[in-house]
Structure 1
């Protein structure tokens, strides 16, 4: 249950980073449109590329700064800070400060996800993916208890659909972590990151179908910038591996 002795520190780091990323994205989705939060979170391949150069000694090239600029441009278009866009922009039912808090949380979550991917690649196949998920779950429980205790948010959800949705979130989130961890063990990070860019399309589609929320052109432009950068990173990594 504890995993290999030489890998326990890495598995603990994976658990802390993964749980932190999940809490940050949940907070971001409450503070800003779901699709916008998802777009910022899916920018993590850009940070994966940066951290891979630093920690895994992978090679970087002149494309990486370009992709970083595209990503940051996309985040700015989604956040729409007032010192650039003025105060006339409306965040619909999401107020300006909420959108700023959500943007910061999603951005921090993207960095945590990127570091999680680096740690998983560092461990490789020496740790069973279910052990990795077990550490993630236990760490998530501990961090959640600490967070709700500090913020004094201990309260039960309403009966009925709220509790059913919470259970569905738990099941879906766990399956997502299992599939992601297993994918990173059997495939390179580039193709996995490329497949995850479909999150953006799904987020905009589901947001419209279930909440009837139509995104602004700024959000669509930001999504395009982030998608271009993440797709470019994934294709470049994939091509360098194949060639």
Structure 2
């Protein structure tokens, strides 16, 4: 879990910044680079992947490849959503996100499943309620993530998005009573710090842009 989470979440803001700079000409500023470095460092400390910290558990190299491809794939999807954000309604983007995800999951899951969902629903009502809740939250995620991409750069969005690592860490502590070590606390603080840096600079840039527009409006003809 630590390896997969750190590789996927760590590569997301890096590749997203690279792809947006290349394909949609977004600028990567110094504070963005600082935010990425702090963010990735925090993710590593929270996840404590074994390929850095080491333990006796064997991990397949193929797993690392899948985690890396997952981060790259999410980066590409983020850039695509950002590129479409100006020309398409948000509802259209969310709809096709959900539709493509459903089609891909059916192709991957249905042929490999020995049980059918309709046979499990009567036997596991609590699990069904959890699934409904999970789908509802996923739709909320699709809406908020794509809405964010309409309002700001993809690079900043991916840094802020990685706050989910801290949420997962807190869930482990509260729900599963995971033992916390100092490195994990430091990592969580670094992830939050990177989000604060991005938030402060976004507010500053927005205020500066509004001030410049106000000056243009007030400028006498």
TM-score grouping bracket, smaller chain normalisation: 0.5 to 0.7
Q: Is the 8 A contact 2:21 2:27 kept in 1?
A: yes
Residue equivalent to 2:152:
188
Residue equivalent to 2:75:
114
CA distance in 1, matches of 2:181, 2:65: 19
Residue equivalent to 2:19:
51
Residue equivalent to 2:113:
153
Aligned Cα RMSD in Å?
3.8
Task: Give the alignment of 1:25-174 within 5 angstroms.
Answer: 32=1, 37=5, 41=9, 44-61=12-29, 68-74=36-42, 76-77=44-45, 78-82=47-51, 84-87=52-55, 97=59, 101=63, 107-149=68-110, 152-155=112-115, 156=117, 157=120, 159-174=124-139
Residue equivalent to 2:216:
none
Q: Is the 8 A contact 1:46 1:230 kept in 2?
A: no
Residue equivalent to 2:211:
none
Q: Is the 8 A contact 2:172 2:178 kept in 1?
A: yes
- TM-score scaled by length of structure 2: 0.66
CA distance in 2, matches of 1:191, 1:85: 28
CA distance in 1, matches of 2:54, 2:172: 26
Q: Kindly indicate whether residue 121 of structure 2 is the aligned counterpart of residue 176 of structure 1.
A: no
Q: Is the 8 A contact 1:207 1:213 kept in 2?
A: yes
CA drift at 1:146 = 1.9
CA drift at 1:202 = 2.8
Greater gyration radius:
2
Provide the aligned length of Structure 1 versus Structure 2.
199
Q: Is the 8 A contact 2:16 2:75 kept in 1?
A: yes
CA drift at 1:196 = 3.6
Q: Is the 8 A contact 1:191 1:235 kept in 2?
A: no
Task: Give the alignment of 1:223-234 within 5 angstroms.
Answer: 223-229=188-194, 231-232=196-197
- SS of match in other structure, 1:166: helix
- Segments of structure 2 that go 5 or more residues without pairing to the other structure are 209-221
Cα 1:240–1:109 change in 2 (3 A) is farther
Cα 1:164–1:42 change in 2 (3 A) is farther
Cα 1:114–1:73 change in 2 (3 A) is same
